[in-house]
């Protein structure tokens, strides 16, 4: 193959891929009398004239980037945060293994949020929703009709977590006494004969940063009625005369069999799964309830509460009613305390954002 003394060795850079990235490595190429010798599969060196070689590196495809997104129920749809529509592509959202599959969306550059999943049981049918766009919203002839009365107003708040920008505000003026609510909003679907044994409730609420705790320690936020009786309400509890922690309570009244706590019947239930759960003044919180009625003559009712998606309270062994439980009415009636003598010192408020009600038999 020629004279060995004319054989030289040169080093050239050739592109290659290492770990998915384009890099260069040094390869040894033998040249004989100025010609490049390339060894073929049989081990024979084939001589060829040297020629310039230009290497065009292919475009680098970046690895998939994991970007946190928010997927939250919105009015009539899913709200996607962290993704922007791709022009010219159909947009779909469907279930996939381990999450949602998004088609026609591209991730935005920077997003920090968590996935929020609500806790509505399967098989539920919507009873009604209300985003609080106006005070007259969902009034008759809407079915089921809402009654909205008293010292309530609609205002704009872009921070509303469920259906911004509008929320409903209940105002407690200075001098307001205990034992009643300044205003209320509620709906009664009993005429529709829906036969709701399992009721799901979701809404967001916020108490003002200067919230004053009434002498009894309790302020109610909402009621749920079954078989013609207000057997359940949610209340906030704290120590009167302080700016201390406020705890969400699940309250039972006028029911047939109270659940047991430590062997004793108990109607006032603080969070028993996450005892540290609090309602923070000046902050929005999303409240969810699953109220499970009993079948006729059976102690098999239950309640489950979630605050900001966290399952904080679970109570079983309830008999709400003698016949099968039939939930029929929901009402925001934020009664401030009981019969304490101390009035509201400085105007305060309670805000509501978007209520969603569903149920099944």
Do the beta carbons of residue 229 and residue 247 sit within 8 Å? no
Q: Where are the domains of the chain?
A: 4-48, 70-107, 125-360
pLDDT per residue, tens digit, the chain (361 aa), is: 444 444 444 444 444 444 444 333 334 444 445 555 545 555 554 444 444 444 444 555 555 444 444 444 433 334 444 444 434 444 444 443 344 444 454 544 333 444 567 999 999 999 999 999 999 999 999 999 999 999 999 999 999 999 999 999 999 999 999 999 999 999 999 999 999 999 999 999 999 999 999 999 999 999 999 999 999 999 999 999 888 899 999 999 999 999 999 999 999 999 999 999 999 999 999 999 999 999 999 999 999 999 999 999 999 999 999 999 999 999 999 999 987 899 999 999 999 999 999 999 9
Q: Which of 162, 214, 213 is nearest to 351 (CA)?
A: 162
pTM of the model: 0.71
How far apart are alpha carbons 297 and 278 in whole angstroms?
35
Do the beta carbons of residue 197 and residue 326 sit within 8 Å? yes
H or E stretch at 29:
strand 21-32
For 4, the 3-state DSSP assignment is: helix
Rounded to a whole number of angstroms, the CA Rg of the chain reads 33
Q: Topology of domain 125-360, per CATH?
A: Jelly Rolls (2.60.120)
């Amino acid at each position: 193959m020629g004279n060995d003394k004319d054989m030289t060795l040169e080093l050239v850079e050739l592109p290659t891929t290492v770990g998915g990235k384009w890099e260069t490595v040094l390869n040894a190429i033998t040249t004989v009398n100025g010609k490049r010798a390339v060894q073929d599969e049989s081990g024979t060196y084939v001589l060829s004239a040297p020629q310039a070689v230009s290497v065009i590196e292919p475009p680098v495809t970046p690895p998939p980037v994991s970007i946190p997104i928010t997927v939250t129920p919105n009015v009539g749809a899913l709200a996607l945060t962290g993704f922007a529509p791709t022009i010219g592509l159909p947009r779909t959202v469907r279930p996939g293994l381990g999450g949602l599959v998004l088609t026609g969306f591209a991730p935005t550059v920077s997003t920090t949020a968590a996935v929020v999943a609500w806790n509505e049981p399967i098989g539920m049918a919507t009873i009604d929703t209300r985003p609080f766009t106006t005070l007259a919203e969902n009034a008759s002839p809407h079915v089921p009709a809402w009654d909205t009365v008293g010292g309530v107003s609609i205002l704009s708040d872009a921070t509303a977590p469920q259906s911004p920008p509008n929320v409903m505000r209940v105002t407690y003026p200075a001098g307001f006494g205990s034992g009643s609510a300044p205003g209320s909003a509620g709906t009664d679907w009993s005429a529709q004969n829906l036969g709701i044994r399992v009721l799901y409730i979701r809404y967001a609420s916020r108490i003002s940063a200067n919230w004053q705790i009434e002498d009894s320690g309790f302020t109610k936020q909402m009621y749920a009625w079954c078989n013609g009786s207000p057997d359940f309400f949610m209340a906030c509890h704290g120590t009167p005369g302080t700016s201390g922690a406020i705890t969400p309570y699940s309250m039972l009244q006028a029911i047939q069999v109270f659940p047991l706590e430590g062997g004793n019947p108990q109607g006032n239930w603080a969070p028993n799964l996450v005892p540290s759960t609090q309602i923070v003044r000046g902050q929005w919180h999303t409240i969810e309830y699953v109220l499970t009625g009993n079948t006729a003559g059976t102690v098999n009712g239950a309640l489950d509460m979630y605050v900001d998606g966290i399952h904080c309270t679970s109570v079983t062994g309830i008999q709400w009613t003698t016949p099968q439980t039939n939930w029929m009415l929901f009402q925001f009636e934020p009664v401030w305390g009981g019969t304490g003598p101390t009035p509201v010192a400085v105007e305060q408020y309670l805000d509501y954002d978007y209520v969603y009600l569903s149920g099944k038999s």
